[in-house]
């Protein structure tokens, strides 16, 4: 009977997880679900050399670490005990915890009875953080909070590289991404055929998953890459299904693991984490549904205007126009862009967004672009101000333009002082005017190809991959806040009709 069970486990990782579960989690019943089998299929594809890079996004407490960091390595040694593993997390205790669970399983009577003939654990190298077997196989742990080992491995597992508390810490996110790019991608024993698994919950647009997806995760280099994304609440997604395998759900909002995380449990998680935290960690969207600070519903079917030659481009109904610039410190590939928005004041004291654009400019080029745009948008003499944040490269741009720009432009340069508030706090303040219907966005149209990316920046702020357009938008609203307040008071008093 043990021989039959051993052969079934050797052939199928899911079956192995089910049978080995009591050894790893004694006293806890195994609650099976289709997503466990699906993740096992993808992991087996890595083991069978069908996939080089596997990125898995799955909610917490859905057997993430147990599957990838505990069961998968021990299962691989059944048939290939010579495999070497590098496994890591954001903190060393977590990586060691899972390595220790794996070691206990390897040394259990159940495992040795069924699979012990192929290898034995070495007593001279049998630590919690590093152990080996007599066939050349080994497991070494690492963390992103310490120096990454210089040793290599046949399989690399990254399990939660970033703490949830560090999601908005740009320095920590960049550190994780840099360690992966510069240290971990070079650790494959066979550089021509690496095998890497990253499993994590989404925390930010620029977390490790976002970083790798943005650059193609190796696809452009010909590497076989799969992205398996499993939100707690079903949302139709596009990802590359393996052998036709995909999300088994069909109804929007359907729970991923209802036997353990049903509607009540998800509601409690949402209350504890907040809308944005829940959206990232559970639904794998690192921004709140419908927007984080700025909400899509404020412009859903209302507070839109049609921008075209027949209406909207004429200047007759415009009271005044302002350009708002969020300037970057440097123009390097890894630096932020400089972004500009154009807002126009209408007679009813509402603002409409006429244009948004962004790019990376060297300093001399930036000053030239600011001047060119100011002259272009003053075509009817209604440009009232060019707002530039009075910090970093904005200071230099202001000084240069004050000395070199034509008088009609130099006179309307506005040095904006943002104060001590964070960008997120300033956005929350500006968002009130959008919620009140005081700021209009264009209707989606081929004449405004920039609108989709601008709205993504706005709705995902401050977790967007590119925050600069939203920063420029926020800045303009805060500068014009007094005008909007006057219009709002008139509006609620019934003085203005629109």
pLDDT of residue 329: 64
The β-bridge relationship of strands 130-133 and 138-143 is antiparallel
pLDDT at position 149 is 66
Contact 204, 168 (CB under 8 A): yes
Residues in Cβ contact with 446 at an 8 Å cutoff, skipping those fewer than 6 apart: none
Q: Sketch the domain layout of the chain as residue ranges.
A: 2-281, 296-492
pLDDT at 221: 41
- Whether the Cβ atoms of residue 341 and residue 388 lie closer than 8 Å to each other: no
Give the rounded distance of the alpha carbon of 142 from its chain centre: 23
pLDDT at 478 over 80: yes
Radius of gyration for the chain, computed over Cα atoms and rounded to the nearest angstrom: 28
- Tokens 């949302």 appear where? 235
ω into 234 cis (within 30 of 0): no
Q: What is the pLDDT of residue 30?
A: 96
Q: pLDDT tens digit string along 157-204?
A: 999 999 998 988 889 999 999 999 988 888 888 888 899 999 999 998
Could you report the per-residue pLDDT of 380-392, keeping only the tens digit for each? 999 999 999 887 7
Question: How does residue 495 score in pLDDT terms, banded at 50, 70 and 90?
Answer: very low
pLDDT for the residue numbered 235: 76
Mean pLDDT score of the chain, rounded to an integer?
87
Sheet holding 439-442, edge to edge: 304-305, 439-442, 351-359, 338-345, 320-326, 383-389, 413-416
**pLDDT digits 0-9 by tens, 397-427:** 899 999 999 999 999 999 998 877 888 889 9
Alpha helices in 302-422 (DSSP H): 363-376, 393-404, 407-410
Q: Provide the pLDDT for residue 297.
A: 87
- Summarize pLDDT for 128-157 with one digit per residue, the tens: 889 999 999 999 999 998 767 678 899 999
Per-residue pLDDT at 418: 80
**pLDDT 10s digits, 437-470:** 999 999 988 788 899 889 988 988 887 778 899 9
Predicted confidence (pLDDT) per residue in 284-313, tens digit: 988 776 788 999 889 987 889 987 644 445
pLDDT bin (cut points 50, 70, 90) of residue 498 is: very low
Write the class of the CATH domain 2-281. alpha beta
Please name which of 121, 112, 118 lies closest in space to residue 2, comparing C-alpha atoms.
112
pLDDT digits (tens, 9 = 90+) for 27-80: 999 999 999 999 999 999 999 999 999 999 999 999 999 999 999 999 999 999
Backbone angles phi, psi at 27, to 5 degrees: 85, -10
0.75 exceeded by pTM: no
**Pairwise CA distance, residues 398 & 370, whole Å:** 10
pLDDT > 70: percent of the chain: 91
Given this model, what pLDDT does residue 276 score? 78
- Element holding 431 (H helix, E strand): helix 423-435
> Which CATH architecture fits 296-492?
2-Layer Sandwich (3.30)
């Amino acid at each position: 009977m043990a021989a039959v069970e051993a052969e079934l486990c050797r052939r199928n990782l899911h079956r192995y997880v089910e049978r080995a579960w009591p050894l790893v989690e004694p006293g806890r019943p195994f609650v099976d679900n289709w997503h466990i089998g699906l993740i096992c299929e993808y992991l087996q594809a890595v083991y069978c050399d069908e996939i080089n890079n596997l990125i898995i996004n799955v909610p917490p407490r859905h057997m993430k670490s147990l599957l990838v960091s505990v069961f998968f390595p021990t299962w691989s040694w059944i048939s290939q005990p010579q495999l070497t593993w590098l496994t890591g997390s954001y903190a060393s205790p977590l990586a060691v915890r899972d390595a220790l669970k794996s070691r206990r399983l390897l040394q259990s009577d159940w495992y040795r009875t069924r699979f012990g003939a192929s290898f034995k654990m070495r007593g001279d190298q049998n630590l919690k953080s590093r152990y080996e077997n007599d066939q050349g196989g080994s497991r070494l742990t690492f963390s992103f909070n310490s120096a990454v080992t210089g040793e290599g491995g046949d399989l690399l597992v990254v399990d939660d590289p970033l703490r949830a508390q560090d999601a908005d810490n740009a320095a920590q996110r960049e550190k994780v991404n840099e360690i992966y790019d510069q240290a971990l991608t070079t650790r494959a024993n066979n550089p021509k055929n690496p095998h890497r698994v990253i499993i994590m919950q989404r925390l930010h647009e620029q977390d490790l998953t976002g970083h790798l997806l943005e650059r193609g995760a190796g696809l452009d280099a010909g590497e076989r890459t799969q992205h398996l994304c499993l939100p707690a609440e079903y949302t139709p997604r596009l990802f590359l299904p393996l052998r036709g395998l995909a999300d088994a759900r069909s109804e929007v909002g359907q729970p991923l693991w209802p036997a353990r995380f049903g509607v009540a449990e998800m509601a409690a998680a949402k209350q504890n984490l907040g809308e944005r935290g829940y959206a990232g960690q559970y639904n794998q969207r690192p921004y709140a549904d419908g927007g984080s600070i700025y909400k899509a519903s404020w412009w859903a079917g209302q507070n839109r205007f049609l921008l075209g030659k027949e209406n909207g481009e004429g200047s007759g109904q415009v009271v005044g126009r302002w350009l708002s610039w969020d300037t970057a410190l440097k123009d390097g590939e890894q630096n932020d862009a400089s972004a500009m928005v154009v807002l126009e004041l209408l007679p009813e004291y509402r603002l409409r967004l006429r244009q948004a654009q962004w790019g990376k400019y060297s300093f001399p080029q930036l000053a030239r672009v600011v001047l060119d745009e100011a002259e272009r948008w003053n075509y009817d003499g209604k440009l009232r101000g060019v707002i530039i944040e009075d910090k970093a490269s904005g200071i230099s741009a202001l000084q240069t333009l004050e000395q070199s720009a034509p008088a009609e432009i130099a006179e309307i340069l506005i040095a904006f002082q943002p104060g001590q508030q964070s960008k997120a706090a300033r956005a929350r303040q500006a968002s009130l005017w959008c919620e009140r219907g005081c700021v209009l966005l264009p209707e989606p149209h081929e004449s405004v190809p920039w609108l989709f990316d601008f709205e993504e920046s706005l709705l995902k702020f401050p977790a967007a991959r590119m925050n600069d357009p939203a920063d420029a938008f926020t800045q303009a609203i805060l500068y014009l806040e007094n005008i909007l307040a006057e219009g709002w008071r008139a509006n609620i008093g019934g003085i203005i009709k629109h």
